[in-house]
Amino acid sequence: MNKMKSNAVKNLIKACSFLLILFIILNLLSAAFLPKNNTLDAGIDYESTYGYRAEEKDSLDIVSFGNSDLYSGLVPLQLFFEQGYTNYAAARPLESISNAYYTLMDVYKYQSPDLIILEVDCLFHSSEANDADDAITNVLYNYLPIFKYHDRWKNISLSEFTENVHYDHIVTNKGYIYHKTVEAYQGQDYMNNKKRKYMTTSTQIFLDKFVKLAKENGSEVMFVAIPSAKTWTNDKHKTVADYAKSNDIEFLDLNVEFDEAGMDWATDSRDGGNHLNYNGAKKATSYIGQFISQHYQIEDKRQNELYNQWEIDYQKFIKNK
């Protein structure tokens, strides 16, 4: 019996040693596979998501998270022009809260925002099983980036094993993606539709972690729901409102305050009510900016010469759009 126990211990030690060595090797390879700049050419997955890395260190007042509703509905440069707030929209398609959490961890390496905005449609986009799978994947991607960027093996060079990252690609639109197409929403009162109204277990876990991380780093948190006739409902509003109230978080639902914000589904959607176009985004951004000015103390940077580039970028955006 003692011999069997001894063999079992030896086998366990061998297994642990193998896993440790494997982890060290994968960690070393991850350093090489990690893109060295925040551009598509360098291998980054979503160039517009990670543009906050190239902004002047600790220069952003606000960083916003969410899915395509956010990068279609919030115009950071307009927020600066109207309110003087520096904001970056670190959104991505089909965003999950687990990925947003790890992106927020990354944000604090480069920025110290006063306010974190979460567009809350991303809390309902998937099933329990898919959310759990996504959460596990994002844990793996965060700690061993080689699994996320393994396709880079085709172009990787030996110098990348020792090369440091240099994130210097400025995303002029600050994460916003411009659309001018107009396709009206033709449906009825979508807020009374019945869709899944609960947050999955993994979503609740990572939402708690997201909020806690923001507060631990001195950032206030604000929830926003950008108008979306294809995904949003009264039941989802109530779920988020209850969470916000329990956690002392301001919640602005532009689906509820659609008329107050001057929105119009005949002119403000690019795809039949799923996302806003630029016309709708302008209205949503103005309303969000007014809400922020009423509920948070953020310095107006418009007269600060250190932020002149934001005015220049805004004028470029207006000209080029």
DSSP character for 194?
Answer: -
| pTM summary value | 0.86
Top pLDDT among 147 and 282 is at 282
pLDDT of residue 22: 54
pLDDT of residue 276: 98
What single string gives the DSSP state of each residue in 196-231? --SPPHHHHHHHHHHHHHHHHTT-EEEEEE---TTT
Average pLDDT over residues 259-278: 97
pLDDT of residue 188: 83
Q: For residue 169, what pLDDT band results from cuts at 50, 70 and 90?
A: confident
* Contacts (Cβ under 8 Å, ≥6 apart) of 215: 221
Domain 34-320 belongs to what topology?
Rossmann fold (3.40.50)
Top pLDDT among 136 and 289 is at 289
b or e along 238-260 (b: 16 or more beta carbons within 10 Å of the residue's beta carbon)? ebbbebbeeeebbbbbbbbebee
Q: Which of helix, strand or coil describes residue 117? A: strand
Domain residues of the chain, as ranges? Answer: 34-320
* Contacts (Cβ under 8 Å, ≥6 apart) of 136: none
